[in-house]
Structure 1
Amino acid sequence: MNLSGQTGDRPEDGLRWRTTTVDGVRSRYLVGGSGPNVVLLHGFGLANRTYRIALEELTRRGMRVHAPTMPGFGGTGELPTSRTSIQGYAAWVAAFIRSVGITEPVTLIGHSFGGGVAIMTAHDSPDLVGRLILVNSVGGSAWVNGRGTLVAMTQRPLWDWGLHLQADVLPVPELTRVLPVILRDGVPAALTHPRAFWRAAKLVRTANLTAELAELGRRGLPITIVWSNEDNVIPAAATHTLRAAHEEIRTITVEGRHCWLLADPTRFGEVVSEALTFTPATGAA
């Protein structure tokens, strides 16, 4: 991929906006803090700024954070149709990491759709990723349908995802914090890049990345899966198939719904700090 230089405002404490172009796709990203490099990939229909408070928590805990907005979301241009796949997004993320000048393997954090992209990025670009943290991630292979039958995730209809996302967001006590950022970032994504939005929605529904995750486990990559016990979007059965991909994967269960890290950024910071200490028995890749 062709990379061009970065531009942005003057350095300052805390998070700041920078811009880079990766293979012709211009992206504004958030960067800040000092310490080990952490890259966070956002969820479906959202953008990096959705996570700003959570990202600030990571910088306060001594991490150097980079948070891009992936193609088709938050004002970032679309991927070409031929590359609109989990592999295509992963290649873009790998090129982004190189374009911002990170020279050591990063801790890659992926939330929801971003988790699926993170798995594929680590799988396809092992030199770039030293640790993987999957937060309520897509990529599991199983779903329990309305009749209580365990079936393949690919059989889950898109409308079911939408209903459960609505149920996940609307009743939370932290509604005044969570809903405004989802509406601010999700609705424009659907209106600005509708084709990319619906292509990505299909990827969310059909992604099965258990084989890739198993391979990462065999390589010895430190992997932590985080799931919240009231998640209505990523069902327990799907998360279980991710956990079962390899015996060395560490799992952490937290209180909350699918977007719990937006509602409780302090807990998110605690979880990430804990995950950074994890080393599998087989050793890091």
Structure 2
Amino acid sequence: MTRVIEQQSRVIHGYKRAFRTGGDGSAIMFIHGIGDSSRTWDDVLPMFADNHLVIAPDLLGHGDSDKPRADYSIGGFANGMRDLLSVLDVERVTLVGHSLGGGIAMQLAYQYPQLVERIVLVSNGGSGRGVSTWLRLATLPMAPELLKLLRLPISRTGMSVSLGLLRRIDHDLGVDVLDLARIVDALPDTHSRQAFARTLRSVVDWRGQVVTMLDRCYLAENIPLLMIWGDRDGVIPYRHAAQAQAAMPQATLEVFEGAGHFPFRSDPGRFVMAVEQFIRSTAPATWDQQGWQTRLRNGAGPGPAAPAAPVRDEQNQP
């Protein structure tokens, strides 16, 4: 039986925080990427809700949540996830973070490790400098106005032609044309576009990503971790998987061949199977304050340099 996913909201610190939820059992929190919303998980949430309590928030400034002039940093978003879990009386979760959401998941594990049982990083940010040229351009001062122009009929026609061309020439971004267009459509007003710009500028500038998780991810070495990446990701390069895996050797990497930046939308069934298998085959992390403090005191340098190409999971070899 397919579980019903409900749209709900709570007011926290005076702002509406929208989220989707359903099912029961061990909790999984799904954190979407920049400019997106909880709707990005529509294909997979009902399947996960058969066995789990699922919680998919709209980040502040995104989706149906409020869009104030506020803190849109990675740390601020992590605090928001902690507060929502507390309001919902959820003590511990498996985190599934996509793109920016992966960075938020890792930050949440760093700030509040006692809340985290496992982590699934999907095409995650924070593992290298590289990022799509389009996102770099979107950090420029006039970007919100340019996003507004993209909604004009003539601009929308031009954008459709450009995205169609990317698909015809078999550019990696062409794999995700429908989702990229969907995200542009999700920025209908000034407040949405300004929130998008503030969020993006907190993690990206014209030279690429400015926030890294590699300098402190050693603190999560006792947390089971799965990485899922499409090998045709045109937004955050697939080669970043190698850097992340080198910095977090406990991580398992599952590669979706032919998928782009949204592997859970390209193949929802396989995505659910991979995450469910990961949950069944790993024990939840236990919070060990003394061990965490020891790792922090001993420290670790920045993540190692990336090898030429990611090492694929043997199960996914052709």
> TM-score of the superposition, structure 1-length normalised?
0.78
Q: Secondary structure at the match of 1:127?
A: helix
Gaps (5+ residues) in structure 1?
1-11, 144-152
The answer to whether the 8 Å contact 1:136/1:228 transfers is: yes
| Alignment correspondent of 1:208 | 212
Question: CA shift at 1:50, angstroms?
Answer: 2.2
Q: Secondary structure at the match of 2:40?
A: helix
The answer to whether the 8 Å contact 1:75/1:189 transfers is: no
Q: In the comparison of the two structures, how many residue pairs are matched? A: 251
Code of the residue aligned with 1:21 in structure 2: it is V
Q: Secondary structure at the match of 2:280?
A: coil
| Alignment correspondent of 1:36 | 26
Question: CA shift at 1:277, angstroms?
Answer: 3.1
| Alignment correspondent of 2:127 | 140
| Alignment correspondent of 1:78 | 67
Q: Secondary structure at the match of 2:228?
A: strand
- Give yes or no for the alignment of 1:170 onto 2:160: no
Matches of 1:157 and 1:41, distance apart in 2: 19
| Alignment correspondent of 2:255 | 253
Select 1:159's aligned residue among 114, 118, 137: 137
Percent of counterpart pairs with the same letter? 24
Q: Deviations over 1:81-127 (max 9, x none)?
A: 4x321111111111111111213x10010011111111101110112
Question: CA shift at 1:262, angstroms?
Answer: 1.2
- Give yes or no for the alignment of 1:121 onto 2:108: yes
The answer to whether the 8 Å contact 2:227/2:253 transfers is: yes
| Alignment correspondent of 2:86 | 98
Gaps (5+ residues) in structure 2?
144-161, 288-318
Q: Secondary structure at the match of 2:34?
A: coil
Give the superposed CA RMSD: 3.0
| Alignment correspondent of 2:298 | none
| Alignment correspondent of 2:309 | none
> TM-score of the superposition, structure 2-length normalised?
0.70
Code of the residue aligned with 2:220 in structure 1: it is L
The verdict on how the C-alpha distance between 1:17 and 1:71 changes in structure 2, with shifts beyond 3 A counting, is same
Q: Secondary structure at the match of 2:127?
A: coil
Q: 1:3-42 counterparts in 2 under 5 A? A: 13-42=3-32
Code of the residue aligned with 1:241 in structure 2: it is Q
Judge which range, 68-77 or 237-246, deviates more: 237-246
- Give yes or no for the alignment of 1:275 onto 2:263: no
| Alignment correspondent of 1:224 | 226
The answer to whether the 8 Å contact 2:138/2:197 transfers is: no
The answer to whether the 8 Å contact 1:46/1:182 transfers is: no
Question: CA shift at 1:212, angstroms?
Answer: 2.7
Question: CA shift at 1:160, angstroms?
Answer: 9.2
